[in-house]
Every structure is written in structure tokens, then in C-alpha cells.
Amino acid sequence: MFNPNTITRFNNTETPFYYYDMEVLRQTLQACHIASAKYGFHVHYALKANFNPKVLDMIQSFGFGADCVSGGEVKAAIEHGFSNKQVVFAGVGKSDKEINLALDGDIFCFNVESVQELHIINDLAKAKNKTAKVAIRINPNVDAHTHHFITTGLDENKFGINTWQLDDVIIALRACSNIQFLGIHFHIGSQITDMEVYKSLCIRINEIQDWFEDHGFPVKILNAGGGLGVDYHNPDTNTISDFESYFKVFKDFLNVKPGQEVHFELGRALVAQCASLISRVLYVKNGQKKNFLVLDAGMTELIRPMLYQAYHEIENLTQHSKLKTQNLAYDVVGPICESTDCFRKDVELPESFRGDLIAIRTAGAYGEVMASGYNLRDRVQSVYSD
């Protein structure tokens, strides 16, 4: 990812910044596009993973749809050229204003997360003399085998409608004259690397779609959500997620009936590997028990380690001629006035000095989008390979 020219460029750029390798992004999108098109599957990009304008423009150019979780994202998707006919809108707390915005935009589908929401969408659509197309987001109680902070498909999670409430959904659907039922939606968690999890999901989807059909509601859309993981430990040798195996699980185990469409919502797997957070060492603190590298980037630029205990590879990009042969262990920390502002403890690095460039890898998903102004910090900049 970093050739000598890139590093020279970094040396002449104010840190911290996100560095986007647009070629990595292009290759990832291409791989996903080919693997999904093979089975005629539809992929919506989950904007919340990264809504950097240049990233959105490239994703849109591949013909992907958009998966949005706020009115702002619906607006951004349409402004960046995503077709409104390919916009899906999920979220456990859609406000009336956001629902109205999506109704005005004639989006493809609302992914509805409660019976009450179904009635509200129906009322708002009626007021506009429109019909809202919906999929019911169902909580299938499938364990994603990922970190519990990013699990969404268990009974105890706030997302979706639990299966014991589906009788109420049917009653509501029959009562709502301004709702068109398209199908069923699932999203069970993020950073999922075990394909058995998706096989279990397929089996649950098959049962649930049969249940809807038995109750007089034919299912046109099966939306399996997203969550495909990336390799945070090997960004250079395993850069692109195994889209082929992922889609093949659904091809093999999902009972797709004639006329049905299969949809996906991928975020992380499309964008995580294309960016690194580049920062400089401000200070080296050698303690009795610990060595600290204090960077000029912190949780205000990348909060994943502090928010989800997430792992990122950390590299020193600066070459020194005379170095100790052995690596040292550093706690790599940020400048923010919070004890949790630590990227990782005991990181093995070559001896490091003030001014060294540090790359925090695989930062393209849930990185820049979560940047904050806490401590009145400047907004993090972006730099692109092209």
C-alpha cells in the first residue's frame, strides 16, 4: 500500500489524515460486483461505513444500490447519483421527518423495525397519497459469532421484530392500506467471518418466508443484510474479503423462488481495507513498566478500538538507519484527555522516535465517519492515492 513515493508525500503532509488507496477500493468493488452478479444478487452499499464523497462516487459508479440508516444518508445517496429505486432505509428510530423525506424521494424500500413504525409509515404515506414499499426487518435470533458490541440479531438486541410478534405484523399489514409488502429483511451483526453463521441465517429465512406465504403474503424480496468481515490482521496479504464464498452460501442454502430477488447490504467488506489513518509520533514516554507512543491522532479520528475493543494493525513507516535489533513494546495512545484513548497496548514496533509516521491500517470502515470534534480538535483530513 505504501511505496517510497507515497511515504515522501506523507512526510510533506500535515498529520493526522486518512489515506485512501483508490486502487484497493476499485479492486474490492470489482470483486464484489463480479461475485454477486454471477447469481443475479443485488448489493446495496451501507453508507454508514463511509460516506466520504470520493468513496461514494466510486461505489456508485459500480451500480450498487444504497443502504441508509438516516434521512441524511438517504439524501447523500441520491445526491451522489445512487438511484432512488435502489435505496433501502433501515433504522430502529426513523423520525417522521426522515420518513417523509424518504417518501418524497420514492425510495425502493423501508426496512421496518416495529409494528408501531409500520402504522406511522402508513399514516405518513396516506397523508401524501402515496404507497410506501416495505420489508419487515426480522430478528432471526441467529448468533453472529462476532463481538457482542456488534451483534444485532439476537432476541435481546433492539433491532428488528422478533418472530413471536409476527402475528401482529400480519394484522397490521392487513390494516395498512398505504403499505405495500415487498418482503423480509435481516441484518444479524458485523465483522462476521464464519460462513456457518450465514448458512444458519439462510435456514431461518427459508422458514420465515414460508410462514409469510402461508399467511397470504407472498415474499418478493429477500434481504439478507450485510456484516461480511475483513481480515484486520493481514491487510496486505488478505486485502479482499472472500465475496465468492459469501454469496455462494446464499446460492446454496437460500430457497429462492421464481420471481424473487435477493438483496444484500454490505458496508465494511467494501471499504475497510482501502484506508489507513496516518499520524505522527508526538512524544515517546519511557516508563518503568510501560513505553508509550503518543500520537497526534486519537479517538477523535478513529474510535473503533475504544468503542468496540477493535483490533487494527499499527506500523511505523519511517525507516531509521541505526536501530536496536529487537522490537520494543509500546502502548500506542492518542492525545485526548481520556484514559481509554489508546489504540492498542503492547504493540511490537521498531524503536520509534518523535516525528515518525505511524499507519493504523484497515481504517476505511467506521473510521472517518465517526470522527468527532471532542476536545475542539480540527476535523481530520483525507488524502487520496489518485
Residues that bind ligand PLP (CB under 6 A): 46, 48-49, 67, 69, 90, 187, 190, 225-228, 265-269, 365
Q: How far is CA 24 from the centre of its chain?
A: 17
Shortest Å distance, C-beta 111 to ligand PLP = 6
Greatest Cα pair distance in the chain: 76
Shortest Å distance, C-beta 266 to ligand PLP = 5
Beta-bridge partners for 266: 45
Cis peptide before 335 (omega within 30 of 0): no
| 202-205, long-range: CB < 8 A, 24+ apart | 202/249, 202/250, 202/253, 202/254, 203/253, 204/140, 204/141, 204/142, 205/140, 205/254
Q: Which residues of 6-20 are buried (b: 16+ CB within 10 A; e: fewer)?
A: beeebeeeebbbbbb
Q: Which is nearer to ligand PLP, 46 or 275 (CB)?
A: 46
Shortest Å distance, C-beta 165 to ligand PLP = 18
d(CA 151, CA 134): 24
Shortest Å distance, C-beta 364 to ligand PLP = 11
Q: Which is nearer to ligand PLP, 335 or 364 (CB)?
A: 364
Q: Which is nearer to ligand PLP, 8 or 95 (CB)?
A: 95
Cβ–Cβ under 8 Å, residues 141 and 157: no
Give the closest residue to 341 by CA, choosing from 376, 292, 380: 292
Q: Which is nearer to ligand PLP, 137 or 361 (CB)?
A: 137
Other beta carbons within 10 Å of 230: 23
d(CA 268, CA 47): 10
d(CA 107, CA 74): 9
Q: Which residue is nearest to ligand PLP (CB)?
A: 267
Q: Which is nearer to ligand PLP, 163 or 327 (CB)?
A: 163
Q: Is 5 helix (H, G, I), strand (E, B) or coil?
A: helix
Shortest Å distance, C-beta 107 to ligand PLP = 14
Beta-bridge partners for 264: 43
Shortest Å distance, C-beta 292 to ligand PLP = 32
d(CA 101, CA 371): 26
Shortest Å distance, C-beta 265 to ligand PLP = 4
Q: Which is nearer to ligand PLP, 262 or 333 (CB)?
A: 262
Cβ–Cβ under 8 Å, residues 90 and 113: yes
Shortest Å distance, C-beta 48 to ligand PLP = 5
Q: Which is nearer to ligand PLP, 8 or 30 (CB)?
A: 30
d(CA 219, CA 267): 25
* Helices assigned H by DSSP within 159-291: 166-175, 195-214, 243-253, 268-271
Q: Which is nearer to ligand PLP, 132 or 294 (CB)?
A: 132
The DSSP output letter for 130 is: -
Q: Which is nearer to ligand PLP, 222 or 295 (CB)?
A: 222
Q: Which is nearer to ligand PLP, 46 or 359 (CB)?
A: 46
Shortest Å distance, C-beta 84 to ligand PLP = 18
Shortest Å distance, C-beta 186 to ligand PLP = 9
